[in-house]
């Protein structure tokens, strides 16, 4: 476990930055915040957190913060983030995201700050040649926003090569949601994020929702994005910081997403189902700089031990011969199972049924490392799982809760790779409802 050193959060009064501040505080890290409050809000910074109103390019202010707070780590969120605006006003983005980042990094080097977490973006990939997108996919941004972030990534790599600094660049896909305890959220007036806009329309704060482009190379013609909950993203930053401190030589670049995309129309359909009415939709022309689809390959962030990322990110232990992973707090929304059947090495599927009087446990045996089981039909009475085989070391369960729409992921570390290895997973009783479930 890394020492809980003081962390300076730039842009800590903004949307993602304020969630990172809470994630740090909740896990015992001392925090200070710098924000110029151009898009951030003073109320988003918790009481008792040292707050400095100012610009990250103010080297004198940064030197004072480093001295007063004894800062050895920075989480850098400050910047501009609206893709269409970056096309219309590129110099604003090269100033805020690149030039000011250069000034910040100069202060980092001058003060010998050893660790930097950088808020990067999947926009650095542009229109990727593959999907899901891996971190080593060629970076060819198609808008100034993505280019401005990529330039900062390049600066970080050069600084790490020349100085005693290690960094983690986290490439976000589409961030959504708010702190589950309601302590902060996306408060920006005129927000452009689809889920925020759709929820405001559902609450009557907007008359309609615009879908920009219906001619993309996607199944329904609208853009597809990989959405990640902001609290999961904040947790990833904390765990990335722990990883940098624990291994101060290497640097990291990792995708932050759930590995599954949803189109604009799929998101709006989900909101319609929740509110039991249809939002007014305006089909508009494409916005400049928007790719057809961006979906993450998030395997690296898990393999580095940073985060088993998903709507519910829970590592529930080692599964080996005869051992059991899972506790009453780690449950899947599957209802209760009346039938506990076993899956042998040669079996094709396992079926269980919902019944409130059952124990709620399903035991899976005969698992080899990386087996995949997929729900082939999700109806009220049963779920059928089909087994495949993959060469991985972890048993990963991914499922979508039909009630909330959240995509959730649980990882059982170090499943034995030997043939016939036995793993048991206890599934606690919970309300029924999910669409698919994968062991990968």
| Short-list 212, 224, 204, CA closest to 267 | 224
Render 168-230 in DSSP notation, one character per residue: EEEEE-EEE---TTSS-----TT---HHHHHHHHHTTSSS-EEEE-S-SSSTTSS-EE-EEEH
Place of tokens 């045996």: 365
Other Cβ atoms closer than 10 A to 423: 25
Q: What is the C-alpha radius of gyration for the chain, rounded to an integer number of angstroms?
A: 23
Q: Counting Cβ atoms within 10 Å, is residue 87 exposed (0-12), middle (13-18) or buried (19+)?
A: middle
Could you tell me which residues are beta bridge partners of residue 399? Answer: 408, 437
Taking CA atoms, 354 is separated from 19, 359, 378, in Å, by 37, 10, 12
Place of tokens 């994968």: 438
Q: CA–CA separation, 182 vs 162, rounded Å?
A: 42
Do residues 31 and 49 lie in contact, with contact meaning Cβ atoms separated by under 8 Å? yes
Enclosing H/E stretch for 392:
none
Residue of 93, 125, 145, 258 marked active site:
145
Q: Beta strands 31-35 and 7-10: pairing type?
A: parallel
Helix (H, G, I), strand (E, B) or coil at 292: coil
Do residues 35 and 58 lie in contact, with contact meaning Cβ atoms separated by under 8 Å? no
Do residues 175 and 233 lie in contact, with contact meaning Cβ atoms separated by under 8 Å? yes
In the residue annotation, 145 being an active-site residue is answered as yes
Instruction: Take residue 331 and report the two structure tokens written for it.
Output: 């449950």
H helices, E strands: number in the chain: 10, 23
Residues 84, 87, 92: CA angle, nearest 5 degrees: 105
Nearby residues of 274 by Cβ (< 8 Å), 6 or more positions away: 202, 405
Instruction: Take residue 421 and report the two structure tokens written for it.
Output: 């290895």
Catalytic residues: 145
């Amino acid at each position: 476990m890394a020492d809980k050193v003081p962390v300076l959060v730039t842009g800590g009064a903004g949307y993602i930055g304020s969630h990172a501040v809470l994630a740090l505080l909740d896990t015992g890290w001392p925090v200070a915040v710098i924000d110029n409050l151009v898009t951030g809000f003073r109320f988003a910074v918790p009481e008792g957190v040292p707050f400095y109103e100012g610009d990250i390019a103010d080297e004198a202010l940064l030197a004072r913060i480093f001295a007063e707070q004894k800062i050895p780590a920075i989480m850098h969120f400050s910047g501009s983030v609206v893709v269409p605006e970056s096309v219309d006003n590129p110099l604003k983005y090269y100033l805020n995201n690149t030039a000011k980042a250069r000034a910040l990094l100069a202060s980092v080097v001058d003060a010998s700050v050893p660790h930097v977490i950088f808020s990067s973006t999947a926009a650095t990939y542009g229109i990727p040649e593959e999907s899901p997108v891996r971190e080593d996919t060629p970076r060819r941004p198609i808008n100034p926003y993505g280019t401005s972030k990529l330039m900062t990534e390049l600066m970080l790599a050069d600084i790490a090569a020349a100085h005693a600094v290690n960094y983690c660049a986290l490439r976000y896909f589409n961030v959504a949601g708010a702190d589950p305890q309601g302590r902060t959220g996306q408060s920006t007036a005129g927000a452009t994020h689809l889920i925020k806009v759709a929820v405001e329309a559902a609450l009557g704060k907007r008359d309609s929702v615009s879908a920009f482009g219906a001619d993309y190379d996607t199944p329904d013609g609208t853009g597809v994005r990989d959405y990640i909950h902001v609290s999961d993203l904040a947790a990833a930053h904390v765990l990335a910081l722990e990883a940098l401190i624990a291994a101060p030589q290497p640097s990291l670049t990792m995708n932050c997403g759930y590995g599954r995309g949803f189109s604009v129309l799929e998101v709006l359909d989900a909101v319609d189902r929740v509110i039991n009415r249809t939002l007014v939709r305006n089909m508009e022309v494409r916005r400049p700089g928007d790719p057809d689809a961006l979906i993450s390959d998030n395997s690296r962030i898990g393999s580095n031990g940073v985060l088993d990322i998903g709507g519910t990110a829970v590592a529930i232990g080692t599964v080996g011969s005869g051992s059991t992973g899972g506790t009453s707090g780690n449950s899947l929304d599957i209802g209760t199972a009346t039938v506990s059947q076993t899956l042998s090495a040669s079996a094709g599927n396992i079926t269980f049924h919902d019944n409130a009087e059952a124990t709620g446990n399903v035991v899976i045996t005969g698992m080899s490392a990386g087996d995949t089981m997929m729900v082939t039909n999700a109806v009220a009475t049963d779920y059928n799982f089909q087994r495949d085989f993959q060469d991985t070391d972890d048993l990963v369960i991914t499922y979508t809760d039909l009630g909330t729409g959240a995509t959730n992921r649980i990882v059982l570390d170090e499943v034995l790779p030997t043939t016939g290895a036995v793993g048991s997973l206890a599934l606690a009783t919970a309300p029924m409802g999910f669409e698919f479930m994968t062991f990968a």
